[in-house]
Amino acid sequence: MIYRNLKYFYLVIIAILLIILAFKSCKQDCIVPYHTVSNKANIKKLEVKKVAEQVKANKSDSVRTKYVIKWRTKLHDTTIYKPCDSLIIICNEIILIDSTEISQLRHVINFSDSIILNQKIIIHNDSLDAICLKKSIRKQRRQKNLALLGLGVITALSVVK
């Protein structure tokens, strides 16, 4: 009769241990709310803006090329040396277009820097997630090994007695 009660006692202890371990492993203590979704959406928006600025810069470069060709043809024309106003106007246009192209390319660089910064944030968050997952896996393995050890000890005790 004591043997039968002892068996039930061990089974109750095993059940309690399993329930405690089950609820303990359900708790995920390493999940931190990151804003990776918003960062990824931000990257997509910045890439669209970057491409638009690159298109603008390419258009102004093609306009600049037309003015440079016009300047080269007028430079070799000997009749124009007396009135240099047309050359000055063309040079001013080339300088203006170059300055706008430089500012557009600076915008492209700023967008690229922002994209790189957001990607660094995402990479950092992903590495933190990987570390957290490794820790939780180690914890679950340890709990599983402890549960198996406990079950083995309790089973051995119940068989021996």
pLDDT in tens, 94-120: 888 888 888 888 888 888 888 888 888
Interatomic CA distance for residues 3 and 14, integer angstroms: 17
Model confidence pLDDT, tens digit, residues 48-64: 888 888 888 778 777 77
Interatomic CA distance for residues 129 and 139, integer angstroms: 15
106's tokens = 């600076």
pTM (2 d.p.): 0.55
